[in-house]
């Protein structure tokens, strides 16, 4: 997987906390930001490569995440290159690929030689009569200036305190030489009345007006009230024709698209040294970096570019020569090149997808191909490659034949791919000691019985998802008056193993290979047990449960009353060490299963959906009101869910998350129309729930 993040949650969370307006709890309640952060952490877990815009994004944003450590990533990369074992640890590769831009709107008329239109605007000769053909925004800006012939220093941003426009204005106002050599244009969004703007924007604009008055900058600073987005290119053109400079003095700039836009029009730039501009100027070599807090440094950089025409011309030339590095063509080339390297490192194994075999024609339509049918078709001539009348007639007949075959049950040979629906039993029925209860067997019987009454057993496939081992599952089913062959699949050990009773009782090796990706194996076996214990825990609080272990699952028994770390805490500790695993407390919190990252009960269900060509919307999941710590994952998705009340007495949810993390309602949408509750597992209640879910 290739991950491209945007506006990352941890960085947003820190910024909101620094503002001091909202508490941590209020931020999470408003933005569900802890759920978002966990989603981004899961993305890092699964990603082979993470695409970023700048190095600043890697160091200061992704560096905040548990799943990424720049130093550890480099160490692991060196170990791989030297063919030294990484001991099951992994960090995704972070690569900088700047966003692409469309430069098609930049035309040849933007050259400096073609400055007749500027002369027309300034009215220095007979061409003044052509002013009506010039961009309106030029007149809106130039009307502010006493001497419009001077170069224009252009700043274009929102009126946001973080954009640091007031420091720029102070730098300009206090540098007399800069004021003599240049004008300043501030494009700060659109406004009708400052009083009607948001508080932060109105404060910025009010401060701007006060500073203009303090330094008596009337006739030297333009601050038009309105501009259209389509006029932004003309604003850049005007600044370039006056041999001006573009400046981005933001306190922190994540990337800086305006710098690239300015360079496309031949404008040298002055930019903040905090963030993306460092990478941009390293490529373009068309300007100077400054400390945004140092107004003297800002003034000196602007003065250097405005006063030194040779430096100005060199920066302009460099920007135009290198701007293609930020085109969409270059972006796509870099992106696809990086993706191809990932493909070469991890060649994809071919997964056999079961196809639906063609069925014999039903008796009622067996001779249809021999019947001559006439259809109303306009003309027999092919137009733009369209099929002729005879071919079209044949296709229609074949379509009718296929439809009739699909609607007929005659001659169907059983195979999982022929199922119309899947009923999936995933209720975690354990007592307080983690032993399977009789409710489990009763629920299976009722679900199968109700399915047969409603749809016919031949049309429904049954799948069992459980946190128990294969041996424990077989033992529990042996007490149930159903045939084991009635199940199309058994998914055991929290989604790490899959068996097909109708075929054989051997684990699916393709599935094992599928989930083995990034599985640390033996390297995590003792580490997980050690990290799961709390500091004050005893040595025997957690012990390996060998009977349930397999090559893709390490199981640990939890002593009654023992304190163990919750899933989010344990996952964080493993992530910070570069170990990527899926963790599940099962058997009423008496057992911990450590399985591969891509192994889970829900992922196993998706695997079957793809392999058997059964859409997830045709899957019905039966669960209790609580369950293992992966219970929430089973509730969301395209499938339908029926919650059987009273079937599960003891769950493991208390060991899922700490109190300051996100809540279940942040992960599972309230009022989900795909989820229905029934009082018992009785036939009428289940049948009614199926009808309510649109299943007939």
For the cut 70, the answer to whether the pLDDT of residue 346 exceeds it is no
pLDDT per position as a tens digit, 221-260: 999 999 999 999 999 999 999 999 999 999 888 889 999 9
For the cut 90, the answer to whether the pLDDT of residue 481 exceeds it is no
Residues 682, 660 share a domain: yes
550 touches 493 (CB < 8 A) = yes
Q: Which residue has the higher pLDDT, 251 or 343?
A: 251
Q: How far apart are CA 118 and CA 242, in angstroms?
A: 8
For the cut 90, the answer to whether the pLDDT of residue 624 exceeds it is yes
CATH number for the domain that contains residue 500: 3.40.50.1000
Mean pLDDT of the chain: 85
**What pLDDT was estimated at residue 342?**
82
CB atoms within 10 A of CB 197: 18
- Residue 162 tokens read as 């973080």
**What pLDDT was estimated at residue 148?**
93
For the cut 90, the answer to whether the pLDDT of residue 660 exceeds it is no
Q: How many structural domains does the chain have?
A: 4
CATH number for the domain that contains residue 227: 3.40.50.2000
Ranges 172-176, 365-369, 422-426: which has the least confidence? 365-369
Q: How far apart are CA 404 and CA 694, in angstroms?
A: 24
- Residue 90 tokens read as 């992994």
For the cut 70, the answer to whether the pLDDT of residue 372 exceeds it is no
Residues 306, 241 share a domain: yes
Spatial strand order in the sheet of 554-558 = 542-544, 554-558, 591-596, 581-586
For the cut 60, the answer to whether the pLDDT of residue 389 exceeds it is no
Residues 297, 367 share a domain: no
The answer to whether residue 355 is domain-embedded is: no
In the chain, % of residues over pLDDT 70:
84
The answer to whether residue 116 is domain-embedded is: no
In 3D, which of 187, 89, 103 has the Cα closest to residue 138? 187
Q: Which residue has the higher pLDDT, 405 or 312?
A: 312
In the chain, % of residues over pLDDT 90:
61
- Strands (DSSP E) found in 591-653: 591-596, 619-623, 640-644
For the cut 80, the answer to whether the pLDDT of residue 385 exceeds it is no
The answer to whether residue 112 is domain-embedded is: no
Domain end residue (candidates: 38, 65, 96): 96
Residue 640 gets which letter from DSSP? E
If phi > 0 it is left, if psi is from -120 to 50 it is alpha, else beta; for residue 431 that is beta
For the cut 80, the answer to whether the pLDDT of residue 403 exceeds it is no
Q: Could you tell me the sign of the dihedral formed by the alpha carbons of 277, 278, 282, 288, in that order?
A: positive
- Residue 634 tokens read as 């089973």
Alpha carbon 314 to its chain's center: 41
Q: How far apart are CA 591 and CA 628, in angstroms?
A: 10
Alpha carbon 298 to its chain's center: 38
- For residue 653, what pLDDT band results from cuts at 50, 70 and 90? very high
**What pLDDT was estimated at residue 548?**
95
Q: For residue 345, how many C-alpha atoms fall within 13 Å in the half-sphere facing its CB?
A: 16
For the cut 90, the answer to whether the pLDDT of residue 275 exceeds it is no
Residues 512, 604 share a domain: yes
73 touches 44 (CB < 8 A) = no
For the cut 80, the answer to whether the pLDDT of residue 352 exceeds it is no
Residues 423, 401 share a domain: no
Domain end residue (candidates: 293, 322, 351): 322
Residues 313, 229 share a domain: yes
The answer to whether residue 311 is domain-embedded is: yes
510 Cβ contact list (under 8 Å, min separation 6): 351, 352
**What pLDDT was estimated at residue 384?**
38
DSSP, collapsed to helix, strand or coil, labels residue 63 as helix
Ranges 15-19, 61-65, 114-118: which has the least confidence? 114-118
- Residue 536 tokens read as 């004050």
In 3D, which of 250, 177, 306, 96 has the Cα closest to residue 287? 306
DSSP, collapsed to helix, strand or coil, labels residue 287 as strand
In 3D, which of 544, 538, 565 has the Cα closest to residue 556? 544
The answer to whether residue 351 is domain-embedded is: no
3-state helix, strand, coil split of the chain in percent (to 5) is 45, 15, 40
The answer to whether residue 55 is domain-embedded is: yes
| φ, ψ for residue 363, nearest 5 deg | -60, -40
**What pLDDT was estimated at residue 314?**
97
Q: How far apart are CA 307 and CA 625, in angstroms?
A: 74
The owner of tokens 């430096």 is 311
pTM: 0.76
For the cut 80, the answer to whether the pLDDT of residue 48 exceeds it is yes
Domain with 602 in it = 416-692
Maximum average pLDDT range among 364-368, 608-612, 620-624, 634-638: 620-624
- For residue 357, what pLDDT band results from cuts at 50, 70 and 90? very low
Helices and strands: H and E segment counts in the chain: 26, 20
For the cut 80, the answer to whether the pLDDT of residue 498 exceeds it is yes
The answer to whether residue 511 is domain-embedded is: yes
Residues 599, 502 share a domain: yes
Q: How far apart are CA 669 and CA 26, in angstroms?
A: 19
Residues 673, 552 share a domain: yes
Give how far Cα 197 sits from Cα of 293, 473, 546, Å.
26, 64, 66
pLDDT per position as a tens digit, 426-447: 999 999 999 999 999 988 988 8
- Residue 397 tokens read as 């007949």
Residues 262, 398 share a domain: no
Residues 197, 161 share a domain: yes
**What pLDDT was estimated at residue 689?**
85
- Residue 170 tokens read as 């102070």
**What pLDDT was estimated at residue 350?**
46
Which residues in 156-179 are b (16+ Cβ under 10 Å) and which e? bbebbeebbbbbbbbbbbebeebb
For the cut 50, the answer to whether the pLDDT of residue 361 exceeds it is no
User: What burial class does residue 694 get, using C-beta atoms within 10 Å of its C-beta: 0-12 exposed, 13-18 middle, 19+ buried?
Assistant: exposed
166 Cβ contact list (under 8 Å, min separation 6): 204, 207, 208, 211
- For residue 348, what pLDDT band results from cuts at 50, 70 and 90? low
**What pLDDT was estimated at residue 602?**
96
Q: Find the mean pLDDT for residues 92-101.
A: 91
Maximum average pLDDT range among 389-393, 416-420, 671-675: 671-675
222 touches 146 (CB < 8 A) = no
Ranges 26-35, 201-210, 345-354, 617-626: which has the least confidence? 345-354
The answer to whether residue 343 is domain-embedded is: no
**What pLDDT was estimated at residue 684?**
58
Q: How far apart are CA 247 and CA 7, in angstroms?
A: 23
β-strand partners of 424: 463, 621
**What pLDDT was estimated at residue 254?**
83
Maximum average pLDDT range among 74-83, 150-159, 388-397: 150-159
Give how far Cα 182 sits from Cα of 128, 153, 306, 317, Å.
23, 7, 7, 21
Q: Find the mean pLDDT for residues 582-596.
A: 97
Widest pairwise Cα distance in the chain: 102
- Residue 326 tokens read as 């930020």
If phi > 0 it is left, if psi is from -120 to 50 it is alpha, else beta; for residue 239 that is alpha
Residues 268, 142 share a domain: yes
Spatial strand order in the sheet of 489-492 = 497-499, 489-492, 460-465, 421-425, 619-623, 640-644, 675-678
339 Cβ contact list (under 8 Å, min separation 6): 2, 49
Domain end residue (candidates: 373, 406, 439): 406
Ranges 118-122, 244-248, 435-439, 659-663: which has the least confidence? 118-122
| φ, ψ for residue 78, nearest 5 deg | -65, -40
Residues 200, 164 share a domain: yes
Give how far Cα 661 sits from Cα of 88, 157, 248, 273, 597, Å.
28, 36, 38, 35, 21
**What pLDDT was estimated at residue 373?**
31
For the cut 50, the answer to whether the pLDDT of residue 8 exceeds it is yes
**What pLDDT was estimated at residue 585?**
97
Q: How far apart are the first and last CA of the chain?
A: 38
**What pLDDT was estimated at residue 451?**
73
């Amino acid at each position: 997987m290739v991950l491209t993040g945007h506006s990352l949650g941890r960085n947003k969370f820190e910024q909101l906390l620094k503002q001091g307006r909202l508490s941590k709890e209020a931020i999470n309640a408003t933005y569900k930001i802890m759920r978002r952060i966990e989603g981004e952490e899961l993305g890092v877990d699964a990603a082979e490569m993470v695409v970023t815009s700048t190095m600043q994004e890697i160091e200061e944003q992704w560096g905040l995440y548990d799943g990424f450590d720049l130093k550890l990533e480099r160490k692991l990369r060196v170990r791989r290159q030297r063919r030294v074992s990484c001991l099951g640890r992994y960090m995704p590769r972070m690569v900088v690929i700047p966003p692409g831009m469309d430069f098609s709107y930049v035309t040849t008329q933007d050259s400096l030689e073609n400055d007749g239109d500027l002369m027309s605007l300034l009215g220095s000769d007979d061409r003044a009569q052509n002013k009506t053909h010039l961009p309106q925004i030029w007149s809106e800006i130039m009307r502010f200036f006493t001497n419009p012939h001077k170069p224009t220093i252009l700043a274009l941003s929102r009126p946001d305190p973080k954009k640091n426009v007031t420091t720029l204005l102070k730098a300009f106002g206090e540098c007399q030489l800069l004021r003599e050599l240049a004008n300043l244009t501030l494009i700060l969004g659109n406004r009708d009345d400052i009083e009607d703007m948001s508080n932060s924007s109105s404060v910025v604009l009010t401060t701007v007006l006060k500073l203009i008055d303090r330094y008596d900058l009337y006739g030297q600073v333009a601050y038009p009230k309105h501009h259209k987005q389509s006029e932004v290119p003309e604003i850049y053109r005007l600044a370039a024709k006056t041999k001006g400079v573009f400046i981005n003095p933001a306190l922190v700039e994540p990337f800086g698209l305006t710098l690239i836009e300015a360079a496309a029009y031949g404008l040298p730039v002055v930019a903040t040294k905090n963030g993306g501009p460092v990478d941009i100027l390293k490529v373009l070599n068309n300007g100077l970096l400054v400390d945004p807090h140092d107004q003297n440094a800002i003034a000196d950089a602007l003065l250097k570019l405005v006063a030194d025409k040779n430096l100005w011309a060199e920066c302009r030339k460099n920007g135009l020569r290198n701007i293609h590095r930020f085109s969409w063509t270059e972006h796509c080339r870099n992106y696809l090149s990086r993706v191809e390297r990932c493909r070469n490192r991890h060649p994809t194994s071919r997964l056999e997808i079961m196809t639906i075999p063609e069925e014999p024609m039903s008796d009622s339509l067996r001779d249809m191909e021999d019947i001559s049918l006439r259809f109303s078709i306009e003309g027999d001539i092919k137009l733009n490659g369209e099929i002729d009348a005879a071919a079209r007639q044949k296709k229609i007949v074949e379509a009718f034949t296929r439809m009739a075959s699909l609607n007929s049950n005659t001659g169907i040979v059983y195979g999982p791919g022929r199922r119309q629906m899947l009923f999936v039993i995933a209720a975690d029925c354990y007592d307080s000691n983690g032993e399977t209860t009789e409710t489990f067997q009763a629920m299976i019987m009722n679900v199968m019985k109700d399915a047969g009454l409603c749809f016919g057993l031949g049309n429904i496939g049954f799948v069992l998802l459980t946190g128990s081992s294969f041996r424990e599952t077989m033992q529990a089913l042996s007490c149930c008056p159903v045939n084991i062959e009635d199940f199309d699949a058994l998914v055991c050990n929290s989604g790490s193993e899959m068996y097909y009773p109708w075929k054989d009782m051997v684990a699916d090796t393709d599935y094992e290979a599928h989930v083995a990706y990034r599985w640390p194996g033996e390297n995590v076996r003792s580490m997980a047990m050690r990290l799961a214990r709390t500091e004050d825990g005893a040595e025997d609080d957690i012990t390996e449960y060998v009977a349930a272990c397999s090559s893709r699952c390490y199981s640990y028994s939890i002593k009654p009353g023992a304190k163990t770390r919750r899933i989010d805490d344990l996952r964080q500790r493993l992530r910070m060490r570069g170990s990527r695993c899926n963790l599940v407390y099962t058997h009423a919190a008496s057992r911990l299963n450590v399985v591969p990252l891509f192994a889970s009960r829900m992922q196993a269900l998706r695997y079957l959906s793809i392999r058997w060509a059964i859409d997830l919307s045709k899957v019905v999941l039966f669960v209790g009101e609580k369950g293992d710590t992966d219970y929430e994952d089973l509730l969301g998705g395209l499938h339908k869910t029926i919650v059987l009340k009273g079937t599960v007495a003891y769950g493991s949810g208390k060991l899922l998350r700490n109190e300051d993390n996100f809540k279940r309602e942040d992960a599972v949408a309230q009022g989900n129309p795909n989820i229905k509750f029934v009082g018992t597992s009785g036939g009428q209640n289940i049948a009614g729930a199926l009808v309510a879910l649109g299943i007939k």
